[in-house]
Structure 1
Amino acid sequence: MTMGFEAWAWLGLVAYTLHIMEEYSFDWRNWARAVIGLPVEWADFYITNAAVVVLGFAQAEMARLLPIAPLVFAALMLINATFFHVLPMIRTRGRFSPGAFTAVVLFYPVALGTFFAAAAEGMLTAGTLAGSVVGGALLMAYPVVMLRLKGRAYFRQSLEAALPDQAPTASSVG
């Protein structure tokens, strides 16, 4: 008996949960700062991964109603594994990337299993394949773009970072 599409979608959530645990345990934050230059803090890691877990539940629940959701999640896993773990390890000549073990052992087989199950059940078309890759890439890029933008003056919310023409006056502060 083969596993169905919905089961693969649920396994995607399990794989991502174990991946998050590996990244946290082996200090992904400091690796990301040193190796890929992301200005990430632990709070960023927690919020982003909490969102991934929520998305994981949502995609598994919507597998039959909206099959592209688990396919986007599967594409996200493939993109994460490849561009944030495997390729950086190759580029750094084997420096361990926290999350690499679960990326290779879980992300690749679970993501590919999701795509193969979708194909076997008649849910995978050229359009859903392309849409899932684009959606996965956008999901992967979103927190990276937010990390890069939050350091810019325009996005800082402190009084010191207020735009010159919007700087608070003594009468407006107190």
Structure 2
Amino acid sequence: MTLADLSWLALAAYAVHIMEEYQFNWRDWARAVVGLPVEWNDFYVTNAVVVVLGIVQAQLAARMPVVSLAFAALMLINATFFHVMPFLRTGGRFSPGLLTAVALFYPLGVAMFLAAAREGTLSLGVAAGAGVAGAVLMALPVAFLQWRGLPYFRQDR
């Protein structure tokens, strides 16, 4: 499969991941385990943005592989730091999204990097750029959740 093909599958995998998180009450888990001050509206908006990013990265895969690899990095970072590590840290408490993170995000994320390597578009710079972009994309919603309570960002005053 090409990077472009895998990029579309990554978007589909993310859609299934969102469904798993929703059905198993990710919001309450995130509040209890990670301590995020998250509401369902935050979940909806963030995941709508992820779907848009998924469409964009799949459309650009052939011309800008770093964009697709940033999405792959986002999936790998999400799987590792927001599902597998909390699962291990809590002694096996289920993390909504864990099943799809392990079964879909890891294989597809790795396959996307391997496809880029096969196609000759993976370099150290592309991999590093994708990793940084994926980390920033993962960190932004968490940072926004934390910052919105700061006086400077409050709109009720």
- TM-score > 0.5, shorter chain as reference: yes
1:71-90 map, 5 Å: 71-90=69-88
The CA RMSD over aligned residues, in Å, is 0.5
Partners of 2:20 and 2:144 in 1: CA distance: 23
Distance apart, 1:107 and its partner CA = 0.1
Partners of 1:65 and 1:130 in 2: CA distance: 18
Partners of 2:27 and 2:150 in 1: CA distance: 20
Partners of 1:129 and 1:66 in 2: CA distance: 12
Q: Which runs of 5+ in 2 are unaligned?
A: none
Pick one of 137, 140, 143 that aligns with 2:138: 140
Pick one of 4, 7, 19 that aligns with 1:6: 4
Cα shift readout 1:95-129 (whole Å, capped 9, x = no counterpart):
00000000000000000010000000001000000
Partners of 1:45 and 1:128 in 2: CA distance: 30
Question: Match of 1:30?
Answer: 28
Misfit runs of 4+, over 2 Å: none
Partners of 1:22 and 1:146 in 2: CA distance: 23
Distance apart, 1:65 and its partner CA = 1.4
Partners of 1:60 and 1:45 in 2: CA distance: 22
Partners of 1:9 and 1:91 in 2: CA distance: 31
Aligned residues: 157
Q: Which runs of 5+ in 1 are unaligned?
A: 163-174
Query: Greater CA radius of gyration, 1 or 2?
Result: 1
Question: Match of 1:168?
Answer: none
Aligned AA (1:123): T
Cα shift readout 1:70-106 (whole Å, capped 9, x = no counterpart):
0000000000000000000000000000000000000
Distance apart, 1:153 and its partner CA = 1.9
Partners of 2:54 and 2:151 in 1: CA distance: 33
Aligned AA (1:94): G
Partners of 1:12 and 1:123 in 2: CA distance: 18
Asked if 1:50 is matched to 2:48, the reply is yes
> Share of identical aligned residues, percent?
61
